[in-house]
Amino acid sequence: MGCFGSKPKLRVEYRGQTKTVHQTVCDMASLHSYVQTSFPDLMSHAFYFRNSEDTSQVVSSDTELKRLMHFKPFLKLQAEKARPFEFPDPKWQALSNSVFKLRQKGHELAGTGFMVTQRLAITTTENFSGVSALKQYSALFQLDSVEVNFNSEVFIPFPDQESIRFAVVELAPDSQQTEFLDSLTPIPLQSTLFAENESLATVIYYTRNFPVLQAKTSEIHLFDHKFFAFEEALKEGSSGAPVLNSEAKLIGVFSSYKSDDMPGSVLNVEYIVEKLSNHQESTLETEPCHLAIERIWKSSSLESKQKFNFSESTCFLDTQNRNMVIFNASTCTASIVPDLPPFEKGSSAVCTPKGILITGPEQHGSQKSATLFDGVAFVKVQNTAEKHSFHCSVYLEGKVYVISGKKTTAVETFDLIEKTWKQAPSIPKKKFNFSGIVVSGSIFVLGGQEKTRVTHSVWKLENSKWTKLSFHLPFKLSNVGAILVETHKLLIFGGVINQEDEQIDNEHAWELNLNSGKTNSVKGLKLNISFGSFQPVNNQHEAVIFSNSGQLLRYHYSEKNFYEVRFNYSVPHEPS
């Protein structure tokens, strides 16, 4: 005998079809499961039941169901889809239409996702770990119940932490779905937007227990540049949902449900952009994925941050006139960025894929200052722990190494993703007016001064350990220039020679083999100017380097000669 007697007494109608409910169905949970199996259209959609005899009566609890079955020998219920949340503002409503349910085919909701362009989306990957699983999932849109498959060639996971699983994916519509996707209003990435502490934000999402479009507005609280907290808890299935500020701009992606008492966390959009930029720079990424990220940049305000290709650039700080000059070695164009923060002479700057990091003393300000130029503005970042002046900065594997200086032996690393400083192994001697260069994943420090003494030593930082090499420069040199001309071979030039306590401008140049320690004189190169504060940039045919005084020189590999670059500065327009 079943829960409701020996004979079937319960029927459910949905869109003109009627199913007789099996005797084993005893409660609302089992009734929901039975109806989802009987009507696949309801598998990933929230629905409820009405009493067919009294359509004003909604049946939503076990108590109501059993009471009706007790008094009525035959009960017929109507299943109806729940209505999605609707925004009164047309702009918000249009954006909400691009939020979809991540659905495992033939199963219920697996998460939430949203379109960032007409074809590319961000979604949770909590239930699958790789591109092969994409074939088992689809994007189901609330509007018109359109279900679109994914392109298995585009899968860009971020970040790379096990506890946070999101990815950029590409939708692959058929001929009938193309027009629908083209009609949507995507929610683009905009890294210039930042979540404000204790401001209001809105999450647009689905949940497994009620898979219909929902929205919730609550106060947020900042953790760090990665995360902020949404004050209201959301149920399972909401991971991957967009979080918008009061102006309907994307500021984050909802990342996890913890419990009713502990709100979920939100991944900051700025951090997402940084992670995607890392993928774009990776040589391991496939061409379809590279092209996908480029489409994201082009479709959003991130284009303004692509104005400067920092990976192909070198720079110079004009501290006297408060300008910074950026030279792109690929396009052979120079730009001047005005309103440089008041850094003093002895500061250092280095180009990285994320921007230009400037460190050193400021006039009438901190002697430990650090600022990042991100392509749009000078952004103050956390100060260094020590005072660095007349030091050197180099970029290596996502970090900037700020090395020594007049007053410290400290070496500090700035993580361009975390935006934080950490201590690295100190160099044994306080050094200033030296040069540093990265070769094959190691950092080499050349010459420089130690107190009043000029040295010709060569130091190497490898595997978190400083080693003084057995060979040295041909002379005791400060402010020497160095560029990589071949694998493990440097060209050494310029600077000042200290000979018997006499300071002589260096007019010599040498090739230094870092494997053998041998030096060979290079004739015809006379550069009696100082270097070391600004890093060179290399391309296929030449190296480009700024001197400490602002002269820009190009060294042509095959011709083995320097050429001075003269140019007219262009002033970039203010971003609109």
Q: Confidence class of residue 80 from pLDDT cuts 50, 70 and 90?
A: confident
Mean predicted confidence (pLDDT) in 175-181: 88
> What is the band of 193 on the pLDDT scale with cuts at 50, 70, 90?
low
Query: CA 225 to CA 243: how far, in whole Å?
Result: 15
Higher pLDDT, residue 162 or 485:
485
Same domain? 318 vs 404: yes
pLDDT band, residue 376 (cuts 50/70/90): confident
Residue 533, pLDDT score: 87
What is the pLDDT averaged over residues 542-553?
A: 90
> Does 4 fall in a domain?
no
What is the structure's pLDDT at 1? 44
Residue 231: the pLDDT is 80
Residue 282: its pLDDT value, please? 62
Going by pLDDT thresholds of 50, 70 and 90, the confidence category of residue 433 is very high
Find, among 83, 169, 85, the residue nearest to 123 by Cα: 169
User: Residue 335: what pLDDT?
Assistant: 83
CB 195 within 8 A of CB 268: yes
Mean pLDDT, residues 239-262: 79
pLDDT (0 to 100) of residue 472: 94
CA distance 124 to 377: 32
Q: List the structure tokens of 270.
A: 């700025």
Residue 192 structural domain: 85-304
Q: Indicate if 396 and 283 belong to the same structural domain.
A: no
Instruction: Indicate the pLDDT class of residue 285, thresholds 50, 70 and 90.
Output: low
546 versus 39: the higher-pLDDT residue is 546
Q: What is the CATH number of the domain that holds 124?
A: 2.40.10.120
Greatest mean pLDDT among 46-50, 217-221, 380-384 lies in 380-384
Average the pLDDT over 526-533 and give the result. Answer: 82
Q: Which residue has the higher pLDDT, 189 or 479?
A: 479
What is the arithmetic mean of pLDDT over 399-425?
94
Which residue from 357, 355, 358 is spatially nearest to 345, judged by alpha carbons? 358
Cα–Cα distance for residue pair 217/201, rounded to 1 Å: 6
482 shares a domain with 421: yes
Q: Are 53 and 171 within one domain?
A: no
Tell me the pLDDT band of 471, cut-offs 50, 70 and 90.
Answer: very high
Residues 6 or more apart whose CB falls under 8 angstroms from that of 456 comprise 447, 472, 473, 474, 475, 476, 477
The mean pLDDT of 389-417, rounded to a whole number, is 94
| Pick from 167, 174, 172, 173: nearest CA to 131 | 167
Looking up tokens 């200052």 gives: 369
Range from 5-19, 63-77, 219-233, 473-487 that averages highest in pLDDT: 473-487
Domain stop point among 62, 81, 100: 81
User: What pLDDT band is residue 336 in, cutting at 50, 70 and 90?
Assistant: confident
Does residue 528 have a pLDDT over 80? no
pLDDT at 161: 57
Residue 527 shares a structural domain with residue 487: yes
Average pLDDT for residues 276-295, to the nearest whole number? 72
Tokens of 359: 């460190």
Name the more confident of 472 and 286. Answer: 472
Instruction: With H, G, I as helix, E, B as strand and everything else as coil, classify residue 567.
Output: coil
Last residue of a domain, one of 274, 304, 334: 304
**CATH code of the domain containing 62:** 3.10.20.90
pLDDT at position 84 is: 83
Q: Are residues 70 and 112 in the same domain?
A: no
Q: What is the pLDDT of residue 123?
A: 93
CA distance 66 to 63: 5
The model's confidence at residue 390, banded by pLDDT at 50, 70 and 90, is very high
Is pLDDT at 171 greater than 90 in this prediction?
Answer: yes
Residues 335 and 288 in one domain: no
Report the pLDDT value the prediction gives residue 263, as an integer from 0 to 100: 61
Top-confidence range, 93-102, 152-161, 171-180: 93-102
The answer to whether residues 397 and 476 belong to one domain is yes
Strand 109-115, strand 99-104: pairing: antiparallel
The answer, yes or no, to whether residue 384 has pLDDT greater than 60, is: yes
On whether both 363 and 250 belong to a single domain, the answer is no
**How would you write 143-208 as a 3-class SS string?**
HHHCEEEEEEEEEEEECCCCCCCEEEEEECCCCCCHHHHHHCCCCCCCCCCCCCCCCEEEEEECCC
Query: Is residue 572 a part of any domain in this protein?
Result: no
Q: Are residues 91 and 55 in the same domain?
A: no
Is the distance from CB of 428 to CB of 409 less than 8 angstroms?
A: yes
Q: Confirm whether 3 is domain-assigned.
A: no
Q: Is 4 helix (H, G, I), strand (E, B) or coil?
A: coil
Evaluate whether residue 411 is within a structural domain: yes
- pLDDT beyond 80 at 420: yes
Q: How confident is the model at residue 570 (pLDDT cuts 50, 70, 90)?
A: very low
User: Strand, helix or coil at 418?
Assistant: coil
Does residue 574 or residue 484 have the better pLDDT? 484
Q: How many domains does the chain have?
A: 3
Q: Two tokens at 141?
A: 């849109």
Least reliable range by pLDDT among 88-97, 254-263, 372-381, 501-510: 254-263
- pLDDT, residue 572, reads 41
CB neighbours of residue 373 within 10 Å: 23
Given a cut of 60, whether residue 260 has pLDDT beyond it is no
Residue 5 lies in a domain: no
CATH code, 561: 2.120.10.80
Which pLDDT score is estimated for 574?
Answer: 36
In a domain, 573, yes or no: no
Helix axes 28-38, 62-71, angle to 10 degrees: 80
**Over the chain, what is the mean pLDDT?**
84
pLDDT, tens digit, for every residue of 13-69? 888 888 888 767 778 888 878 887 888 777 777 787 888 888 888 888 888 888 887
15-35 core/surface letters (b: 16 or more CB in 10 A; e: else): eeeebebebebeebeebbebb
Q: Is the pLDDT of residue 510 over 60?
A: yes
Quick one: CA torsion of 367, 372, 378, 383, rounded to 10 degrees? -30
Q: Answer with the one of 28, 47, 81 that is the final residue of a domain.
A: 81
- 429: confidence class by pLDDT, cuts 50, 70, 90: very high
CB burial class (10 A; 0-12, 13-18, 19+) of residue 179? Answer: exposed
Residue 550 is assigned to a structural domain of this protein: yes
Give the whole-angstrom CA distance, residue 295 versus residue 117.
8
Clarify whether residues 271 and 410 are in a common domain: no
* 27 part of a folded domain: yes
- 122 plus 271 within the same structural domain: yes
Q: Give the pairing of strands 75-81 and 10-14.
A: parallel
| Higher pLDDT pick, 389 / 134 | 389
Average the pLDDT over 281-309 and give the result: 66
